[in-house]
């Protein structure tokens, strides 16, 4: 089963790119974040025509939004709101074959890495804690699950262009990295990408729009992740990040992350 996760940054604006991605990469499951569309605005028919009729969509007007698109039948779907906000940051589906996929869009956290001074950063930390508690109370480490999405945290030194310079920049601060580690340890999630691509290797999935030449400066961060629970760890066959997508016409600032599971 090939799983792809991508923060598309507006599904309607980048629908042609998404359809090209499906044709080229041929995932079994495509998970999108930041779709920025209500459910009735989501281009469901276009994706169905492309061979992905099985869909789970959670959307809101102009912001956030997540979706799971599958070539295989979906047996169960679930959507949960976190931190008392109806802001379309989670959707889940059990894909035919028994693998449950959770798609998350974690809040970015604003600019100031102090929850006492920045409510957006406090929201991010609360969201991560509630994710951990909810998954721990409602799922088990023995369940075959995949957790994907824009988690908005680059945990490793090699997940950012400069560990030293980004230590006090939201997305790589020690408090966020620690919170992500606690979440990951809750059900013993394994980073499927780093299971294939060594942690020593520099790896990014996001490059800012602010860079005059994103490729030349290469000041990226790995914000997009694919995790698996223990029953799927030995089944992770391959992983890659489609860096070339950052150079597409009307590109998102994120690029697709691809993981193959040998089920």
Per-residue model confidence as pLDDT tens digits over 139-155: 999 999 999 999 999 99
Beta-strand relationship, 2-7 and 257-261 = antiparallel
Chain length of the chain: 263
DSSP classification of residue 20? H
Average of pLDDT values for 26-40?
A: 97
Cβ atoms of 256 and 248 closer than 8 Å: no
Q: What per-residue confidence (pLDDT) applies to 88?
A: 98
Q: What per-residue confidence (pLDDT) applies to 126?
A: 98
Taking the CA atoms of residue 53, residue 34, residue 42 and residue 134 in that order, the dihedral angle to the nearest 10 degrees is: 60
Cβ atoms of 180 and 128 closer than 8 Å: yes
Phi, psi dihedrals of residue 3, rounded to the nearest 5°: -115, 130
Q: What per-residue confidence (pLDDT) applies to 72?
A: 95
In whole angstroms, give the CA distance from residue 172 to residue 163. 8
- Per-domain residue ranges of the chain: 2-261
* Percentage helix, strand, coil for the chain under 3-state DSSP, each rounded to 5: 30, 25, 45
pLDDT over 90 at 243, yes or no: yes
pLDDT over 90 at 76, yes or no: no
Average of pLDDT values for 56-61?
A: 95
Phi, psi dihedrals of residue 24, rounded to the nearest 5°: -80, -40
In whole angstroms, give the CA distance from residue 57 to residue 187. 25
Q: What per-residue confidence (pLDDT) applies to 97?
A: 82
Q: What per-residue confidence (pLDDT) applies to 74?
A: 95
Average of pLDDT values for 70-79?
A: 93
Q: Model-level pTM?
A: 0.97
Write out pLDDT tens, residues 83-100: 999 999 999 999 988 999
In whole angstroms, give the CA distance from residue 51 to residue 188. 33
Domain 2-261 has CATH 3.40.190.10: no
């Amino acid at each position: 089963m090939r799983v792809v996760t991508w923060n598309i940054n507006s599904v309607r604006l980048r629908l042609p790119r998404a359809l090209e991605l499906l044709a080229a990469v041929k995932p079994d499951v495509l998970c999108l974040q930041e779709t920025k569309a209500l459910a009735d605005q989501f281009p469901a028919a276009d994706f169905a025509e492309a061979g992905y009729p099985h869909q789970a969509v959670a959307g809101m007007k102009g912001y956030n939004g997540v979706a799971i698109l599958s070539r295989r039948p979906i047996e169960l779907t679930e959507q949960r709101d976190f931190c008392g906000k109806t802001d379309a940051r989670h959707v889940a589906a059990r894909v035919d074959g028994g693998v449950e996929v959770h798609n998350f869009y974690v809040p970015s956290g604003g600019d100031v890495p102090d929850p006492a001074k920045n409510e957006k950063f406090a929201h991010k930390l609360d969201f991560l804690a509630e994710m951990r508690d909810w998954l721990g109370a409602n799922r088990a480490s023995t369940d075959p699950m995949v957790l994907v999405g824009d988690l908005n945290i680059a945990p490793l030194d090699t997940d950012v262009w400069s560990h030293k310079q980004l230590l006090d920049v939201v997305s790589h601060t020690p408090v966020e990295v620690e919170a992500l580690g606690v979440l990951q340890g809750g059900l013993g999630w394994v980073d499927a990408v780093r299971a294939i691509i060594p942690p020593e290797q520099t790896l990014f999935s996001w490059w800012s729009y602010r860079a005059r030449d994103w490729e030349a400066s290469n000041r990226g961060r790995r914000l997009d992740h694919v995790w698996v629970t223990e029953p799927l760890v030995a089944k992770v066959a391959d992983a890659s990040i489609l860096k070339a997508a950052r150079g597409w016409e009307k590109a998102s600032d994120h690029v697709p992350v691809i993981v193959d599971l040998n089920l």
